[in-house]
Structure 1
Amino acid sequence: MNEIFKSIEKIAIKISNALKYTELGYTDHKNQTGDVQLKLDVLSDKIIEEEFKKIDSIKAIISEEKDDIQDINLDGKYIVAYDPLDGSSLVDVNFAVGSIFGIYEHELKPKNLVASAYAIYGPRLELVICIDKPQLYRFAENKEFKFIKDLKLAEKGKLNSTGASQWGWSQKHREFVKKLFDEKYRLRYSGAMVADLHQILLKGGGIFSYPATTDAPKAKLRVVFEVLPFAYIYEKAGGKTTDGNSNSLFEIEIKEVHQTTPCFFGSSYEIETLKKIYKD
């Protein structure tokens, strides 16, 4: 496992450098979910694949930018699922973006997710690595990642990060968001999942929402390499997760690699409030 994390450190540095200097723009290709691939998406995916191919313990990799599982070493122990560059469409306006990694042991099942990590490329390069608890690392002047602190969510937060098409929200979700604003929550939403979830973690609480909508009843965030890795981090930080009805996002049954789901991550108060409104 340590070898995988060291590889993720190398990946983060390489992608961070690529973001600074690589040409922006689109390719002529679409990924499995129909999004036209940015040149940076493809480059980031290539960087990650090349690093993970060097590790004997990795059995297979799964990328948002690839259609299927790619075998690496059949004798390996881990399957690594990743989003190479979350929020890549925001690079041209210089917003913070990131890479997400979920590490599964032997099989692609929620209960087999044993570690998660993500890199955030902002004014500073940071990594959050989580096995038993999420830990924040920052890239320092000596060209190494320095441990900063453990991350913990409070029982109740102040931030509301709500995504998806507002015109397609259900009445229950509208009611929930109104309640948050009535309780003086601050709106914080950039459109990059990593950046928004990172902010809530570092500020100590709040909620990130990506609900079902009329145009996307199964929402748009991918279970295997976006939703579950962050669910792991948030629950290890003392928070809660749900799809709006479940007690945890880990109740999801994985049926396909690019499966999507509505998802909510946050402090206990916000998640329990959402579940009550959705149930009522």
Structure 2
Amino acid sequence: MEDFILAFQSSAQKIQNLLKVSHTDYLSTTNSSGDNQLGIDVKADKIIEEELLSLNSVRGLCSEEKNEVIYKDYGSYFIAYDPLDGSSIISSNLSVGSIFGIYKEGFESKNIIAAAYVVYGPRLELVFANDVLSYFIYDGKSWKKQPPLKLNESGKINAPGGTQKNWSSKHKTLIDSFFQKGYRLRYSGGMVPDLHQILIKKGGLFSYPATSDAPNGKLRKLFEVFPFAFIYEKAGGGAIDGKNRLLELPINGIHDTSPCFFGSIEEINEVRRIYE
């Protein structure tokens, strides 16, 4: 896995430099999910594609910005990635990120063996999970390993995604119950910075439910949901779709979506209680 860590670190430094100088203009194209593409989305996607295809161990890769999987004739691992999660908030100068899932023998939840994400913010940071969870910060010259991240049994952060008018009454009850317990609202519109903050602060809940306008959820299983589910479980938390463990969900296409809840064990148990 060391080759993957080095590849993610290398592409992160290149994308961080790209973010400092690039405009946030939309192109005339959309990705497979129908989202308008920023020029910087496409550039970040190309940086990661070239970095990963240079690894002999990579057999195939797909991204949120691609319609199909790119395959090679050799290698053992399949990588799914979101090159620039939260790119729509770049113009507001908020933190954004990249997300990676590493799969063995094909793109299915049961095959994920490692995951990672990068945070592009005041600091450049990388979290990588396989058997253990590793945390790195780039100091401008080299990557420094930090103490591992671990969730407490519960926290005080509530990060609810989706437009409120499209929430179900059940989900409104859930979110209100956390606020009534004194949880703090922390939601930027970027999955990476919001989930990273919960990990750094050691507890809380991130939710992106099924909504009336997105009954199957909005976040993509391969690129976003499964990687963060893997990371949160390694950090001592949980990751479900409301009832079911995310890493047991089937996949019918590379751009499948799912409702998702990530958090500390007590918050996840409360989600189950209300949703069941």
CA distance in 1 between counterparts of 2:212 and 2:69 reads: 30
Per-residue deviation, 1:140: 1.2
Q: 2:216 aligns with which of 210, 218, 236?
A: 218
Taking structure 2 as the reference length, what is the TM-score of the superposition?
A: 0.99
In structure 2, what is the Cα distance between the partners aligned to 1:129 and 1:46?
21
1:252 Cα offset (Å): 0.5
Q: How does 1:175-214 map to 2 (within 5 A)?
A: 175-214=173-212
TM-superposed CA distance for 1:139, in Å, is 0.2
- Determine if contact 1:62/1:81 at 8 Å carries over to the other structure: yes
Q: Which runs of 5+ in 2 are unaligned?
A: none
Aligned AA (1:29) = T
Of 252, 256, 259, the residue aligned with 2:256 is: 259
* Count of aligned residue pairs for this structure pair: 276
Which residue of structure 1 aligns with residue 272 of structure 2? 275
- 1:183-223 CA-partner distances (Å, limit 9, x unpaired): 00000000000000000000000000000001110010000
CA RMSD in angstroms comes to: 0.8
Residue 115 of structure 1: aligned partner = 114
Runs of 4 or more off by more than 4 Å in structure 1?
none
- The match for 1:154 is 152
2:17 aligned residue = 17
Report if aligned partners of 1:133, 1:233 keep a CA contact under 8 Å in 2. no
Alignment correspondent of 1:125: 124
Per the alignment, residue 234 of structure 1 pairs with 232
**For the residues of structure 2 that align with 1:217 and 1:94, how far apart are their CA atoms?**
31
Return the offset for 1:174: 0.6
Q: In the aligned structure 2, how far is the partner of 1:188 from the partner of 1:53? A: 36
SS at match of 1:150: coil
CA contact (8 A) 1:240 1:268 kept: yes
Matched-pair identity in %: 50
1:23 Cα deviation from its structure 2 partner:
2.1
Is 1:105 the equivalent of 2:128? no
Q: Please, which runs of 5 or more residues in structure 1 have no aligned partner?
A: none
Q: Quote the residue 1:45 is aligned against.
A: 45
Once residues 206 and 131 of structure 2 are traced to their aligned partners in structure 1, the CA distance between those partners, rounded to angstroms, is 22
Match of 2:138 in 1: 139
Aligned residue among 241, 245, 249 for 2:246? 249
